[in-house]
Amino acid sequence: MKLIPPRPAFPADASPAELEAMGRHSDYIRHLIDVGTVFAAGPVMDPAGTWGVAIVEAEDEAATRKLFEDDPVVRAGLGFHWEILPMASLLAPVR
């Protein structure tokens, strides 16, 4: 999953409402990590503009979409959205 912020300058120019929504987003992602749905997540410092990444395990695309439709930063209506980018395989330690 790729979290696209509302503009390339984010988070440097984040508003108080965006910062508050990102705090709730972080709590939500931490919860998904705790329950084993998200394997890893964090910001990607792309020179073209920072964006977020989350590697998730879900039953199908609909289940993945539901996870991130419930993300507080998306629900806040501030212009954030997730893109689903399937991985063909993942090399990772066995949990």
Q: One digit per residue, pLDDT tens: the chain, 95 residues? A: 999 999 999 999 999 999 999 999 999 999 999 999 999 999 999 999 999 999 998 899 899 999 989 999 999 999 999 999 988 888 877 76
In the chain, what are the domain boundaries? 15-50+71-86
**What pLDDT, on the 0 to 100 scale, is given for residue 45?**
95
Give pLDDT, residue 48: 94
Tokens of 12: 């440097």
Q: pLDDT at position 92, please?
A: 77
Residue pair 78/10 in contact (Cβ under 8 Å)? The answer is no
